[in-house]
Amino acid sequence: MQPLSHTETYSLSVLSIACISVLVNAWRSDGEPLFASLAIAGVAFAFTYALIPWTGDVFVKRGYKGRDLSKKNPVEL
C-alpha cells in the first residue's frame, strides 16, 4: 500500500468535505440536481484517487497488470 502525500491527503479531504456539505445542503433544501451531481462526482473522484494507490500492489501480486503501450519504453503498471 502506497500512502498518499500530505498535500494529496489535505486536498482530497477538503474536496470531500466541500462535496458532502453541498450534498447535505441539497438534501435539506429544494436542491439543485446539477450541483448534487457534481458533488457526487467529486466524492467519487476523491475515493477513486485514494483507492488506486492503496490497492495497486494487491492487483500486481494477483497478476493483474499491464504495460503502457503509448510510451517509448513501455513500463509495467
Distances (CA, A) of 58 to 3, 12, 35, 36, 55: 14, 23, 35, 33, 5
Crossing angle of helices 6-28 and 33-62, rounded to 10°: 140
Give tens-digit pLDDT for 17-55: 999 999 999 989 887 899 999 999 999 999 999 998 888
pTM of the predicted model over 0.85: no
Which ranges in the chain belong to alpha helices (H)? 6-28, 33-62
In which band, very low, low, confident or very high, does the pLDDT at 1 lie, cut at 50, 70 and 90?
Answer: low
d(CA 17, CA 21): 6
* pLDDT of res. 17: 96
